[in-house]
Homo-oligomer: A and B are copies of this chain.
Amino acid sequence: MTGRLIHSLATTESLAQLFSDESVLAAMLEFEVALARAEAGVGVIPQAAAAAIAKSAKTENFDTAALANATLRAGTPAIPLVRTLIENVRKNNSDAARFVHWGATSQDVADTAMSLLLKRAQPILLGDLQRVEQALAYLIEQHAGTVMLGRTLMQAAPPVTLGLKAAGWLGAIHRMHCAFTDAFSNAIILQFGGASGTLASLGSHGISVANELARELGLVNPEAPWHTHRDRWATLVCACGVLTGSLGKMARDISLLMQNEVAEAAEPGGAGRGGSSTMPHKRNPIACSLTLAAAHRVPGLVASYLSAMVQEHERGVGGWQAEWPTVAETIQATGLAIASMAEVAEGLSVDAERMRANIEKTNGVIFAERAMMFLGSRLGREVAHKVLEQATKRCVAENRHLRDVLADIPEVSANLDSDALQQLETPEQYLGSAEDFRKALLSASSKQVFKKEQ
């Protein structure tokens, strides 16, 4: 009995495994073992007890289905987990059993287990994000000069380059890359406070045990327990929201470019990427659709997390209990969006000829503003404006190019030589600062990455 299939479009395989029953259980047991070791190290419990606990804390000794059901009754996974662990330890060493979970509270194990899972999620997500960025950087360089229609409100507009467009994607993704990395690092911390968050039952040993426990687990030990202060995880969840939004924007653009009528780019087919057997040419935007699905789901998950931050006193009634599924699904959805766009960025096929052809098909009306500037200085702006208003109407009505329609107008041909007119619709001549912007975005993206690596 599992929930893998119903979430099959909502997670990658590796992240599904990360949040699997076995993995979650293992993380909780890791906490219990490390706690016992830390306490034995500090002298709070006997070394033998720690050893006995470590020996019994094996996932194979637990029935995860039973644990899940008992968790629902107890309102926390820790109570049935500890109960079963005590039973297991008692079989080997009845003395040791009473030192299980010593000084800790339920939320300590649950929160720390999630931190451990986040720690394992971090390299998966950041690794794929690196792939997105590298692939985009390559695209940006390769298509520095590939002209294509600008599209505003999904209507034809003056040209851009694919290099600039991809640089826009990279810029947004890279800016979040840094925040995302920070958010992950800040979220991966120990939770250890005991019942009221004072570690009272450890007397004067609280801080020492906490330090040792954090060391054992490879987690940062924050200034204090944070049972009802969820800002660090909230920040991570939000960073997932913003990043997924930026990836969704890229996915939307590409899925629009993949329309048959546009046909300027396509995500890679790849193994298992469906497609129809009778329409083998067909390339569906599968990876884009998965990314967009994440971009639909994550904002609501962020809202759920944020609204659950209002937690009462030293342990929340409802807010905390809402968190595990929300965090797990946010991480999985975000990870899927990143992995999907990595695949897309690495394998995007681009039809530069079609891009140019689609510019051509506008009959040059996207250059009307440019023509205005040519003519304005010669005819005066008022006259130029009227000329162009009529000319563009004729372009549409007669399906002719602006340069040709203008050539027929005496006022124009008298003032503009035919060479200039022939150049009017050359996209490369009407790119403004596109190349500067492309370079600046690319450079900003590489520079900060470099800084981070130091």
Query: 18 more A-B contacts (CB under 8 A) besides A154-B258, A171-B224, A261-B361?
Result: A3-B3, A3-B4, A3-B20, A3-B21, A8-B67, A149-B260, A151-B312, A152-B313, A164-B198, A168-B229, A169-B229, A175-B232, A229-B246, A231-B245, A281-B365, A295-B310, A295-B318, A302-B302
A361 / chain B contacts, CB cutoff of 8 Å = 260-261
Q: Is A85 an interface residue (CB 8 A)?
A: no
**If the complex has contacts A200-B370, A433-B207, are A1 and B24 also in contact, measured as CB distance less than 8 A?**
no
Binds B, one of A32-40, A119-127, A284-292: A284-292
| B432 in contact with A168 (CB, 8 Å) | no
| B25 in contact with A3 (CB, 8 Å) | no
A260 / chain B contacts, CB cutoff of 8 Å = 149, 155-156, 361-362
A158 / chain B contacts, CB cutoff of 8 Å = 194-196, 198, 200-201
- Min CB–CB distance A171 → chain B (angstroms): 6
Binds B, one of A129-137, A389-397, A416-424: A389-397
- Which one of A7, A11, A71, A273 has the highest number of Cβ atoms from chain B below 10 Å of its Cβ? A7
A157 / chain B contacts, CB cutoff of 8 Å = 195-196, 314-315
A253 / chain B contacts, CB cutoff of 8 Å = 312-313
How far, in whole Å, are A281 and B394 apart by their CA atoms in the complex? 10
Q: Is A48 an interface residue (CB 8 A)?
A: no
Q: Is A47 an interface residue (CB 8 A)?
A: no
| A292 in contact with B273 (CB, 8 Å) | no
Contact with B along A393-424 (1 / 0, CB 8 A): 10110000000000000000000000000000
Contact with B along A418-454 (1 / 0, CB 8 A): 0000000000001111101110110110000000000
- Min CB–CB distance A175 → chain B (angstroms): 5
- Min CB–CB distance A73 → chain B (angstroms): 3
Q: Is A43 an interface residue (CB 8 A)?
A: no
| A292 in contact with B279 (CB, 8 Å) | no
- Min CB–CB distance A282 → chain B (angstroms): 6
| A306 in contact with B298 (CB, 8 Å) | yes
Pick the contact of A285: B1, B153, B228, B241 (CB < 8 A): B153
**Which residue of B has the minimal Cβ distance to A12?**
B72
Q: Is A324 an interface residue (CB 8 A)?
A: yes
Q: Is A92 an interface residue (CB 8 A)?
A: no
| A73 in contact with B160 (CB, 8 Å) | no
**If the complex has contacts A25-B5, A68-B4, A313-B253, are A234 and B229 also in contact, measured as CB distance less than 8 A?**
no
Q: Is A69 an interface residue (CB 8 A)?
A: yes
Q: List 25 A-B contacts (CB under 8 A).
A: A3-B20, A9-B325, A10-B322, A73-B270, A75-B273, A158-B200, A158-B201, A172-B231, A200-B369, A201-B373, A202-B432, A202-B433, A223-B444, A242-B309, A248-B318, A259-B262, A260-B361, A279-B366, A292-B310, A293-B318, A293-B319, A297-B304, A297-B308, A299-B306, A302-B306
How far, in whole Å, are A373 and B165 apart by their CA atoms in the complex? 43
How far, in whole Å, are A319 and B310 apart by their CA atoms in the complex? 12
A213 / chain B contacts, CB cutoff of 8 Å = none
| B200 in contact with A286 (CB, 8 Å) | no
A309 / chain B contacts, CB cutoff of 8 Å = 242, 245-246, 248-249, 295
- Which one of A77, A279, A324 has the highest number of Cβ atoms from chain B below 10 Å of its Cβ? A279
**Which residue of B has the minimal Cβ distance to A306?**
B299
